[in-house]
Amino acid sequence: MVGPARPLIVLFGSSIVQYSFGHGGWGATLAHFYSRQADVVLRGYAGWNSRQALQVLPTVFPKDAPVQPSLVIVYFGGNDSCRPHPYGLTPHVPLSEYKENMRQIGLYIRSLSETTRVVFLSCPPVSEKMLVGSPRTYEACRVYSNACIEMCNELSCKDQSFKVIDLFKSIQKRQDWADVCFIDGIHFLEAASEIVAAEILKVISESKWEPSLYLGDLPTEFEDVMYPIQPFEN
Protein backbone atom coordinates (compact mmCIF):
# COMPACT_ATOMS: atom_id res chain seq x y z
CA MET A 1 0.00 0.00 0.00
CA VAL A 2 1.01 3.56 -0.69
CA GLY A 3 -0.78 6.61 0.58
CA PRO A 4 -2.86 8.65 0.74
CA ALA A 5 -5.76 6.20 0.74
CA ARG A 6 -8.02 6.30 -2.30
CA PRO A 7 -11.10 4.35 -3.41
CA LEU A 8 -10.12 1.04 -4.98
CA ILE A 9 -11.64 -0.05 -8.31
CA VAL A 10 -10.88 -3.64 -9.34
CA LEU A 11 -11.35 -5.04 -12.85
CA PHE A 12 -11.98 -8.79 -12.56
CA GLY A 13 -12.46 -11.02 -15.56
CA SER A 14 -11.04 -12.98 -18.47
CA SER A 15 -9.03 -11.74 -21.47
CA ILE A 16 -11.34 -8.77 -22.12
CA VAL A 17 -10.14 -7.56 -18.72
CA GLN A 18 -6.53 -8.78 -18.86
CA TYR A 19 -5.87 -6.94 -22.12
CA SER A 20 -7.75 -3.80 -21.08
CA PHE A 21 -4.59 -2.02 -19.92
CA GLY A 22 -3.07 -2.16 -23.41
CA HIS A 23 -2.80 0.91 -25.64
CA GLY A 24 -6.25 2.47 -25.94
CA GLY A 25 -7.78 -0.18 -23.70
CA TRP A 26 -10.84 0.54 -21.58
CA GLY A 27 -9.03 -0.29 -18.34
CA ALA A 28 -6.22 2.11 -19.21
CA THR A 29 -8.83 4.76 -19.98
CA LEU A 30 -10.46 4.32 -16.57
CA ALA A 31 -7.05 4.46 -14.86
CA HIS A 32 -6.30 7.68 -16.74
CA PHE A 33 -9.57 9.37 -15.77
CA TYR A 34 -9.25 8.31 -12.12
CA SER A 35 -5.49 8.94 -11.96
CA ARG A 36 -5.63 11.26 -8.92
CA GLN A 37 -8.93 10.13 -7.48
CA ALA A 38 -9.01 6.32 -7.28
CA ASP A 39 -6.71 3.34 -7.85
CA VAL A 40 -7.72 1.06 -10.72
CA VAL A 41 -6.35 -2.45 -10.22
CA LEU A 42 -6.29 -5.25 -12.80
CA ARG A 43 -7.15 -8.87 -12.04
CA GLY A 44 -7.58 -10.37 -15.51
CA TYR A 45 -7.15 -14.02 -16.45
CA ALA A 46 -7.20 -14.80 -20.18
CA GLY A 47 -9.01 -18.00 -21.10
CA TRP A 48 -10.92 -18.28 -17.84
CA ASN A 49 -14.60 -18.96 -17.35
CA SER A 50 -16.99 -18.24 -14.48
CA ARG A 51 -16.34 -21.65 -12.92
CA GLN A 52 -12.64 -20.89 -12.50
CA ALA A 53 -13.39 -17.38 -11.25
CA LEU A 54 -15.69 -18.70 -8.55
CA GLN A 55 -12.98 -21.02 -7.28
CA VAL A 56 -10.41 -18.27 -6.70
CA LEU A 57 -12.66 -15.60 -5.18
CA PRO A 58 -11.34 -15.96 -1.60
CA THR A 59 -7.77 -15.62 -2.88
CA VAL A 60 -8.36 -12.65 -5.17
CA PHE A 61 -10.72 -10.93 -2.72
CA PRO A 62 -9.83 -12.02 0.84
CA LYS A 63 -12.47 -10.97 3.31
CA ASP A 64 -9.85 -10.04 5.92
CA ALA A 65 -7.99 -7.61 3.64
CA PRO A 66 -7.31 -4.26 5.34
CA VAL A 67 -8.72 -2.38 2.34
CA GLN A 68 -11.74 -3.58 0.39
CA PRO A 69 -12.73 -2.45 -3.10
CA SER A 70 -15.20 0.36 -3.54
CA LEU A 71 -16.15 -1.05 -6.94
CA VAL A 72 -15.51 -4.32 -8.77
CA ILE A 73 -16.20 -4.51 -12.51
CA VAL A 74 -16.81 -8.16 -13.43
CA TYR A 75 -16.65 -9.77 -16.85
CA PHE A 76 -16.96 -13.47 -17.61
CA GLY A 77 -19.05 -15.07 -20.31
CA GLY A 78 -17.24 -15.18 -23.62
CA ASN A 79 -15.37 -18.35 -22.75
CA ASP A 80 -18.39 -19.84 -21.00
CA SER A 81 -20.42 -19.39 -24.18
CA CYS A 82 -18.07 -21.47 -26.35
CA ARG A 83 -19.62 -24.53 -27.95
CA PRO A 84 -19.28 -27.61 -25.73
CA HIS A 85 -16.70 -30.17 -26.81
CA PRO A 86 -17.32 -33.92 -26.37
CA TYR A 87 -14.00 -34.27 -24.54
CA GLY A 88 -14.24 -31.02 -22.59
CA LEU A 89 -11.57 -29.23 -24.63
CA THR A 90 -13.29 -25.84 -24.54
CA PRO A 91 -13.99 -23.61 -21.51
CA HIS A 92 -17.74 -24.03 -22.05
CA VAL A 93 -19.97 -23.68 -19.00
CA PRO A 94 -23.68 -24.59 -19.32
CA LEU A 95 -25.99 -21.58 -19.29
CA SER A 96 -27.73 -22.37 -16.00
CA GLU A 97 -24.41 -22.93 -14.24
CA TYR A 98 -22.96 -19.75 -15.74
CA LYS A 99 -25.86 -17.70 -14.45
CA GLU A 100 -25.55 -19.17 -10.95
CA ASN A 101 -21.76 -18.74 -10.94
CA MET A 102 -22.14 -15.07 -11.78
CA ARG A 103 -24.73 -14.65 -9.07
CA GLN A 104 -22.40 -16.19 -6.49
CA ILE A 105 -19.49 -14.07 -7.69
CA GLY A 106 -21.60 -10.93 -7.33
CA LEU A 107 -22.91 -11.83 -3.88
CA TYR A 108 -19.45 -12.71 -2.60
CA ILE A 109 -17.93 -9.44 -3.82
CA ARG A 110 -20.85 -7.43 -2.45
CA SER A 111 -20.27 -9.03 0.98
CA LEU A 112 -16.73 -7.64 1.21
CA SER A 113 -17.94 -4.37 2.74
CA GLU A 114 -21.02 -2.22 3.17
CA THR A 115 -19.82 0.09 0.42
CA THR A 116 -18.48 -2.40 -2.15
CA ARG A 117 -20.41 -2.08 -5.43
CA VAL A 118 -20.50 -4.44 -8.41
CA VAL A 119 -20.87 -3.66 -12.12
CA PHE A 120 -21.26 -6.64 -14.45
CA LEU A 121 -20.30 -6.46 -18.11
CA SER A 122 -22.43 -8.77 -20.22
CA CYS A 123 -21.01 -10.87 -23.02
CA PRO A 124 -20.17 -8.73 -26.10
CA PRO A 125 -20.87 -9.92 -29.65
CA VAL A 126 -18.23 -11.58 -31.79
CA SER A 127 -17.51 -10.79 -35.41
CA GLU A 128 -18.12 -14.19 -36.98
CA LYS A 129 -16.66 -13.18 -40.33
CA MET A 130 -13.29 -12.75 -38.60
CA LEU A 131 -13.47 -16.15 -36.90
CA VAL A 132 -12.45 -19.34 -38.68
CA GLY A 133 -13.20 -22.63 -36.95
CA SER A 134 -13.91 -20.88 -33.65
CA PRO A 135 -16.16 -22.46 -31.01
CA ARG A 136 -17.77 -19.04 -30.47
CA THR A 137 -20.90 -17.78 -32.17
CA TYR A 138 -22.79 -14.51 -32.26
CA GLU A 139 -25.99 -16.24 -31.12
CA ALA A 140 -24.35 -17.88 -28.10
CA CYS A 141 -22.95 -14.52 -27.04
CA ARG A 142 -26.46 -13.05 -27.21
CA VAL A 143 -27.88 -15.84 -25.04
CA TYR A 144 -25.16 -15.56 -22.39
CA SER A 145 -25.39 -11.77 -22.42
CA ASN A 146 -29.11 -11.97 -21.70
CA ALA A 147 -28.48 -14.46 -18.88
CA CYS A 148 -25.99 -12.10 -17.21
CA ILE A 149 -28.40 -9.17 -17.52
CA GLU A 150 -31.29 -11.21 -16.14
CA MET A 151 -29.18 -12.39 -13.20
CA CYS A 152 -28.06 -8.85 -12.33
CA ASN A 153 -31.59 -7.47 -12.60
CA GLU A 154 -32.71 -10.10 -10.10
CA LEU A 155 -29.99 -8.98 -7.69
CA SER A 156 -30.56 -5.27 -8.20
CA CYS A 157 -34.25 -5.59 -7.37
CA LYS A 158 -33.12 -6.12 -3.77
CA ASP A 159 -29.85 -4.18 -3.76
CA GLN A 160 -29.00 -1.20 -5.96
CA SER A 161 -25.31 -1.90 -5.39
CA PHE A 162 -25.51 -4.16 -8.48
CA LYS A 163 -25.46 -2.74 -12.00
CA VAL A 164 -25.06 -4.32 -15.42
CA ILE A 165 -23.90 -2.99 -18.79
CA ASP A 166 -25.30 -4.64 -21.91
CA LEU A 167 -22.15 -4.86 -24.01
CA PHE A 168 -23.90 -7.00 -26.61
CA LYS A 169 -26.15 -4.09 -27.57
CA SER A 170 -23.79 -1.23 -26.75
CA ILE A 171 -21.06 -2.33 -29.12
CA GLN A 172 -23.56 -2.89 -31.93
CA LYS A 173 -24.71 0.72 -31.79
CA ARG A 174 -21.86 1.34 -34.23
CA GLN A 175 -23.01 0.29 -37.66
CA ASP A 176 -19.49 -0.83 -38.58
CA TRP A 177 -18.88 -2.66 -35.27
CA ALA A 178 -18.03 -6.00 -36.88
CA ASP A 179 -15.19 -4.36 -38.86
CA VAL A 180 -13.65 -1.88 -36.41
CA CYS A 181 -14.17 -3.20 -32.88
CA PHE A 182 -12.10 -6.38 -32.79
CA ILE A 183 -8.52 -7.49 -33.31
CA ASP A 184 -9.49 -11.07 -34.09
CA GLY A 185 -13.27 -11.14 -33.92
CA ILE A 186 -13.22 -11.46 -30.10
CA HIS A 187 -10.73 -9.12 -28.42
CA PHE A 188 -11.21 -5.36 -28.42
CA LEU A 189 -9.66 -2.69 -30.55
CA GLU A 190 -9.71 0.91 -29.36
CA ALA A 191 -13.13 1.54 -30.91
CA ALA A 192 -14.74 -1.09 -28.70
CA SER A 193 -12.78 -0.01 -25.62
CA GLU A 194 -14.03 3.55 -26.05
CA ILE A 195 -17.60 2.23 -25.89
CA VAL A 196 -16.91 0.09 -22.82
CA ALA A 197 -15.20 2.92 -20.90
CA ALA A 198 -17.98 5.38 -21.76
CA GLU A 199 -20.68 2.94 -20.63
CA ILE A 200 -18.91 2.28 -17.32
CA LEU A 201 -18.47 5.99 -16.59
CA LYS A 202 -22.13 6.56 -17.49
CA VAL A 203 -23.34 3.89 -15.07
CA ILE A 204 -21.15 5.26 -12.28
CA SER A 205 -22.35 8.82 -12.87
CA GLU A 206 -26.02 7.78 -12.83
CA SER A 207 -25.79 5.54 -9.77
CA LYS A 208 -26.91 6.98 -6.48
CA TRP A 209 -24.28 5.20 -4.43
CA GLU A 210 -23.06 6.62 -1.17
CA PRO A 211 -20.24 7.39 -1.09
CA SER A 212 -20.30 8.41 -4.73
CA LEU A 213 -17.66 7.13 -7.14
CA TYR A 214 -18.54 9.71 -9.80
CA LEU A 215 -15.44 11.56 -11.01
CA GLY A 216 -17.00 14.94 -10.29
CA ASP A 217 -17.68 14.00 -6.67
CA LEU A 218 -14.27 12.55 -5.75
CA PRO A 219 -11.53 14.81 -4.40
CA THR A 220 -8.42 15.29 -6.50
CA GLU A 221 -5.40 14.25 -4.51
CA PHE A 222 -3.20 17.19 -3.42
CA GLU A 223 -5.28 19.58 -5.52
CA ASP A 224 -4.65 22.50 -3.17
CA VAL A 225 -1.03 21.72 -2.33
CA MET A 226 1.55 23.96 -3.98
CA TYR A 227 5.21 23.08 -3.52
CA PRO A 228 7.88 25.80 -3.81
CA ILE A 229 10.43 25.18 -6.53
CA GLN A 230 13.73 24.44 -4.84
CA PRO A 231 17.09 24.94 -6.52
CA PHE A 232 18.82 21.74 -7.53
CA GLU A 233 21.53 20.73 -5.11
CA ASN A 234 24.41 18.40 -5.92
Length of the chain counted residue by residue: 234
Which of 14, 70, 81, 127 is labelled catalytic?
14
Among the options 39, 122, 127, 187, which is catalytic? Answer: 187
DSSP string, the chain: --SS---EEEEEESHHHHGGGSTT-HHHHHHHHTTTT-EEEEEE-TT--HHHHHHHHHHHS-TT-SS--SEEEEE--TTTTSPP-TTS-S----HHHHHHHHHHHHHHHHTT-TT-EEEEEPPPP--GGG-SS-S--HHHHHHHHHHHHHHHHHHHTT-TTEEEE-HHHHHTTSTTHHHHSBSSSSSB-HHHHHHHHHHHHHHHHH---SS---GGGSPPTTTT--PPPPPP--
Q: Is 187 a catalytic residue?
A: yes
Catalytic residue among 32, 111, 159, 184: 184
Distance between start and end Cα atoms, the chain: 31
Is 184 marked active-site? yes
Residue 14 falls in the annotated catalytic set: yes
Which residues are the active-site residues? 14, 184, 187
